[in-house]
Amino acid sequence: MAPTAGAISALRPLPLDAVRLEPDGLLGQWQERNAAASLPHCVVRLEESGALENVRRAAGQGDRGFTGMWFADSDVYKTLEAAAWRLSDPAADDRLRDFVAATAALLIKAQQDDGYLNSYFTTVKPDLRWQELDWSHELYCAGHLIQAAVAAARAGAAPELMTVARRLADLLVERFGPGGTDGVCGHPEIETALVELYRETGHRPYLDLARRFVDLRGHGLLGDGRFGPAYFQDHLPVREAGEVTGHAVRQLYLLAGVVDVAVETHDTALLDAARRLWDDAFHTKTHLTGAHGSRHRDEAFGDPYELPPDRAYAETCAAIASLHWNWRMLLATGGHRYADEMERVLYNAVAGATAVDGRHFFYSNPLQVRTGHDGSDEDAPGQRLPWYSCACCPPNLARLMASLHGYVATTDDNGVQIHLYGAGTLRSTVRGADVEVTTRTAYPWSGRIELAVTATTPEPWTLSLRIPSWCDGCTLQVDGDVVAADPTDGYLRLTRSWGTPTAVVLDLPMPARLVAPHPRVDATRGCAALTRGPLVYCLEQTDLSEDVLLEDVRLDASAPVHVDEHAGLPHIPVTLTAGGTVRRPPTPGLYPAYPTTADRDDAPPRTALTAVPYFLWGNRDPGPMRVWIPVDHTG
């Protein structure tokens, strides 16, 4: 995302090549794993699933019938986008460049004379183009194609992809622009894509169409459908909506586009609506892991405080969309709370969706898996799967991880702001002078962050370091001297001359913490969760003795929680050890009499509980897991 110079944006993203993450840090490890495993895996699966063959058929090169979801083109486009971001790195595999070039050439052949491009409607429903916007995903697929083309342009790859995207976008302007058809897509995404295309090309009709799509939503153009208009966010105009509703991914993608339109058109009322909906989403409808979605039936937000851990849908794509929306809110306003939510969702809900091998993924991300859970349904698998019949999540993860370095830091007229901490190097310019910040840190396993800052000018400028909301106090050293660490609005701001190399050391204390749910969250009342730094922890059955079921475990909230940095568990650098008890059911009956005080066992067996980072659960043995642990108040 790169707002234009005239946008109402408090912060600006850095150029694509400004930040390099090192593989000895966790963020860099994720990027390298994505490049070495996840992205090549997605390319292979595009062939095996038939998604690429569908496009070949639309190009007149295949004789097999259409296979997979009718919106499978979007899987191709998201993988293209991921590959394009990766190609901005000189170390990128040449096979990715070949994939991008070959796929771009295929899309040129599949595109129709008027610019239309959709393999399903071209080969299966040619007479119904644009006639089924509630479920067709035509505009959704077009949006992902446009975003792939923008990524390729910014990475200097496959310029012909931009030609394809613009031909399709011009068709959309002709069809749906002023004086054209009043219509919106049942699955928002085209809005933010059109704004990005405007930013890349400067062609105003793309921005105007994005705004038109935002303004048309909420006027009942999509009908009631199976789940009602709120499912599509089509029940109220965006400016009037008071709560996030419906399909979580659609809502969050829409809001990302809303912010894009607002900042480029200086629509402060629209930005205020985004703030209002943010308050609703993050104050009443967000899981502890930063995930969104309470209901499997319609993959949707629930009522306020409806956050069941075991039935949490928490779709991976919703977590990614949340990061995208918060990033845009951060750029627009500079508010630290948006960076806090980026960090929370990245280290928990997003990271937990990918296995340590980079080739297996979660679609939904519950906060509890029960003993006896079937796990055979794709809707709620018991372990990560290599692919899905609806394969939106794996390539979405690939494109986010390939561009992850772009979310680390920003700049403004006064200096540089660092929002996510990872080992690496940042290069930018401040007031025409070159600036370099090299970071060494084991974050999030350690809160110590060492920065080496250099600049080519003695003119003062400000380095802003985010102090996460979970952090209670911090210490700061500059060239070995302890200086006052007084954050304002969530950031430590160091304004000084950086003309000579300067060493900055920020220490963020990371004790283990117990957190409680809001008392209105009925599903987790009487429970607590273990956290440390930005990480949410969980219990797994595999760490309990064979005679203890996870459902019978209780947490002793009065016992200290120890941080173990040498647990010896594979892929898990830091565990937490808490005190607990085992309270087995007194009778086999499903509904026994409520026990009186005299009936209760006041000395249940005690046990030590090992908690592992939530994002790493399920990488050993599949089985029960829980984040929210019932508290034993008599322990």
Say how far residue 219 (Cα) sits from the centre of its chain.
29
Residue 595 is classified by DSSP as P
Helix, strand, or coil (residue 611): strand
Residues 33-40, mean pLDDT to the nearest whole number: 98
pLDDT tens, 56-99? 999 999 778 999 999 999 999 999 999 999 999 988 889 999 99
Q: Give helix then strand counts, H and E, for the chain.
A: 15, 22
Q: Give all strands (DSSP E) within 30-165, no chain letters.
A: none
User: How many Å apart are CA 579 and CA 472, to the nearest integer?
Assistant: 24
User: How many Å apart are CA 394 and CA 78, to the nearest integer?
Assistant: 9
pLDDT tens, 275-323? 999 999 999 999 999 999 999 999 999 999 999 999 999 999 999 999 9
Helix, strand, or coil (residue 178): coil
Say how far residue 69 (Cα) sits from the centre of its chain.
23
Question: Taking all residues of the chain, what is their mean pLDDT, rounded to a whole number?
Answer: 95
Q: In this predicted model, which residue has the larger pLDDT, 431 or 391?
A: 391
pLDDT tens, 323-377? 999 999 999 999 999 999 999 999 999 999 999 999 999 999 999 999 999 887 7
pLDDT tens, 548-599? 999 999 999 999 999 999 877 888 999 999 999 999 988 888 998 887 765 5
What is the per-residue pLDDT for 177? Answer: 97
pLDDT tens, 190-242? 999 999 999 999 999 999 999 999 999 999 999 998 999 999 999 999 999 99
Nearest Cα to 610, choosing from 567, 571, 573?
567
Question: Look-up: residue for tokens 């009908």?
Answer: 223
pLDDT at residue 515 above 80? yes
List residues with catalytic annotation.
299, 392
Nearest Cα to 612, choosing from 291, 293, 421, 348?
348
What is the per-residue pLDDT for 63? Answer: 79
How much of the chain is in helix, strand and coil states, percent to nearest 5?
35, 20, 45
* Residue 43: both structure tokens together: 């390319």
- Taking CB atoms within 8 Å and a gap of at least 24, the contacts of 479-488 are 479/503
What is the set of domains in the chain, with CATH numbers? 27-407 (1.50.10), 409-507 (2.60.40), 512-630 (no CATH)
Kindly indicate the confidence band of residue 404, based on its pLDDT and cuts at 50, 70 and 90.
very high
Kindly indicate the confidence band of residue 603, based on its pLDDT and cuts at 50, 70 and 90.
confident
Residue 594 is classified by DSSP as P
Q: At what angle do helices 138-155 and 73-87 cross, to 10 degrees?
A: 10
What does 506-522 look like in DSSP terms, one character per residue? Answer: EE----EEEE---TT-G
